[in-house]
Structure 1
Amino acid sequence: MANGPSGTPEREQSPLSILMLLPNMVTLTGLSFGLTAVRFTIEGRYSAAVFLILLAALADGLDGLLARWLRAESPLGAQLDSLSDFMCFGVAPAILVYQIHLAQAGGFGWIIAMLFAVGACFRLARFNVTTGKTDDTKGPAKHFVGVPAPAGACLGLLPVFLTLGSVLEPGDAPVVVSVWLAIVCVLMISSLKTLSPKAVKVPRRFIGVILFATVIVIGLGFTRPWYLLALVDVAYLMTLLHAVVRARGQLFR
């Protein structure tokens, strides 16, 4: 490759389309959501903090789609995405759950919060080492290995959803919440084969049902958002239970 006047390759000196930067810009937007969620948690604005974590999850899915669509994937973007995920789906949810439910438990509650954040970090580090190749088959991955960090964050926030929905009071059952966070941590770092949305196929006869269900979900999102998020967690837990049963069946076959 020819070098320019400064000795650097001409390709590195040539102008870059702003569209090629779009995935990283979306990633940084998600990171900003996660950082602001921590600030709102400290200020006691818990509903806003949850909303920002969910927006970060949306940005996390969008930046990957944009990178593949624009063919703008890069090692820098992959590492930036993982660091953003650790902040948004490890640190921010841990601090939020600690502030609402575990602060009264003192040092023990903080240890559990750190355990959750470290579990998310380990999950992301393992994903980087395997370069995201969790399936041996060609095409879209049929499964993830362990619960992905965004899904783990949503599961970890289940006590917060119940509190904001007036089902639990702040500080209720810190031991139960601690056990729950520990379970989610184990699920994230486990080798359990969990559902990948890319592998979900919808029979044509169910298309109408799904479209109507979408309208219901949107309605619940505006009227009963915390109940809806709790139900989403329960539905995802059902898929995890199915994965556990299937794994045990293969083990003893």
Structure 2
Amino acid sequence: MARNKRLRRDGPLPLILLVPNVVTMLGLCFGLTSIRFTFENQFQFAAGLLILAALFDGLDGLLARRLNASSPFGAELDSLSDFVCFGVAPALLIYNFGLRDFAGLGWLAALFLAICCCLRLARFNVAAKDESDDKGSFTGVPAPAGAMLALFPVTLHLSGLVDLREVPALIALWALIVGALMIGRFKTISLKAMRVSRDNAVYVLLAAAVVIGLMLTRIWAFHVGATFLYVSLLIWGVLKQRRDATPPT
């Protein structure tokens, strides 16, 4: 029996099982290229590539489940890619965007954001191996969502609404808040744990089509609106958890 297992492990690997890892590496390339554009002060491309990296991060996990191609190697590769794309790249982007001239405090805020992302990913990796852990929810804001939140000052500028570079203290404060949200102890629901009735599925698809249309035509304004919506849902979720945890009097 042991010999058969060894043969299966050492034998040819179906090419299709590598597809999720290839998608992960594509996402990593987006994150690394975002850093390059950040150094060149091309913030529009840098932010756009991080959004693409977040989309590919969701895609690789979906493919791994559908193709039954999940593996410890893929999980580690995904985690390392996430730290670059959603920890290092956003921290460098907001630093170059509006924190370079903030008397050294801007760099501390960027460091805090990246380190919080690293801690968030480490905690997630440990929880993923714990059979007793609730797989239907996350503790703290997931790393990709945290990165999208961190981009908020940049997309406010790119959408033409307001330029926060005149007030770097607000950008630094926002980076600290996002970092704290990633390492928070509150629960957030994962998408794969959400359910929708078959009767309402068509409405969900229509809403998704509208969302995709907005992303393709007004991506920066869409990102700003999505950030407000996500933060509102976070606040509502935390308040609901506290209300449910409070014993009746």
Say if 2:98 and 2:168, in contact at 8 Å, map to a contact too: yes
Residue aligning to 1:11: 8
- Matching of residue 218 in structure 1 with residue 215 in structure 2: no
User: Cα distance, 1:168 vs. partner?
Assistant: 2.1
1:174 pairs, out of 168, 179, 188, with 168
How far apart, CA to CA, are the structure 2 residues paired with 1:244 and 1:191?
A: 10
- Matching of residue 145 in structure 1 with residue 139 in structure 2: yes
Say if 2:86 and 2:147, in contact at 8 Å, map to a contact too: yes
For 1:13-162, list aligned pairs within 5 A. 13-131=10-128, 136=133, 141-162=135-156
Query: What per-residue deviation string (whole Å, max 9, x for no partner) do you get for residues 62-108 of structure 1?
Result: 11112222222221111111010000000101111111111121410
Residue aligning to 2:224: 230
Say if 1:134 and 1:145, in contact at 8 Å, map to a contact too: no
Shift of the 93–10 alpha-carbon distance from structure 1 to 2, 3 Å rule, reads: same
User: Cα distance, 1:170 vs. partner?
Assistant: 5.7
- 118-127 vs 212-221, which moves further: 212-221
TM-score by length of 1: 0.89
User: Cα distance, 1:149 vs. partner?
Assistant: 0.2
Equivalent position amino acid for 1:232 in 2: A
Equivalent position amino acid for 1:55 in 2: L
Say if 2:127 and 2:133, in contact at 8 Å, map to a contact too: no
Say if 1:100 and 1:170, in contact at 8 Å, map to a contact too: no
Query: What per-residue deviation string (whole Å, max 9, x for no partner) do you get for residues 160-205 of structure 1?
Result: 1101111222622211111111111111101111121123233566
How far apart, CA to CA, are the structure 2 residues paired with 1:24 and 1:191?
A: 30
How far apart, CA to CA, are the structure 2 residues paired with 1:170 and 1:192?
A: 29
Shift of the 203–15 alpha-carbon distance from structure 1 to 2, 3 Å rule, reads: closer
Aligned CA-pair RMSD: 2.3
How far apart, CA to CA, are the structure 2 residues paired with 1:204 and 1:11?
A: 40
Alignment length (residue pairs): 246
How far apart, CA to CA, are the structure 2 residues paired with 1:204 and 1:177?
A: 43
Equivalent position amino acid for 1:50 in 2: A
How far apart, CA to CA, are the structure 1 residues paired with 2:131 and 2:154?
A: 31
SS of 2:165's equivalent? Answer: coil
- 27-36 vs 64-73, which moves further: 64-73
Residue aligning to 1:193: 187
User: Cα distance, 1:211 vs. partner?
Assistant: 3.9
Which residues of structure 2 form unaligned runs of 5+? none
SS of 1:105's equivalent? Answer: coil
Query: What per-residue deviation string (whole Å, max 9, x for no partner) do you get for residues 102-152 of structure 1?
Result: 112141000100100000000000011112669856xxx432111000000
Say if 2:164 and 2:170, in contact at 8 Å, map to a contact too: no
User: Cα distance, 1:248 vs. partner?
Assistant: 2.0
Say if 1:40 and 1:48, in contact at 8 Å, map to a contact too: yes
How far apart, CA to CA, are the structure 1 residues paired with 2:14 and 2:204?
A: 39
TM-score by length of 2: 0.90
SS of 2:128's equivalent? Answer: coil
- Matching of residue 239 in structure 1 with residue 233 in structure 2: yes
Which residues of structure 1 form unaligned runs of 5+? 4-8
Residue aligning to 1:6: none
- 116-125 vs 127-136, which moves further: 127-136
SS of 1:194's equivalent? Answer: strand
How far apart, CA to CA, are the structure 1 residues paired with 2:156 and 2:129?
A: 33
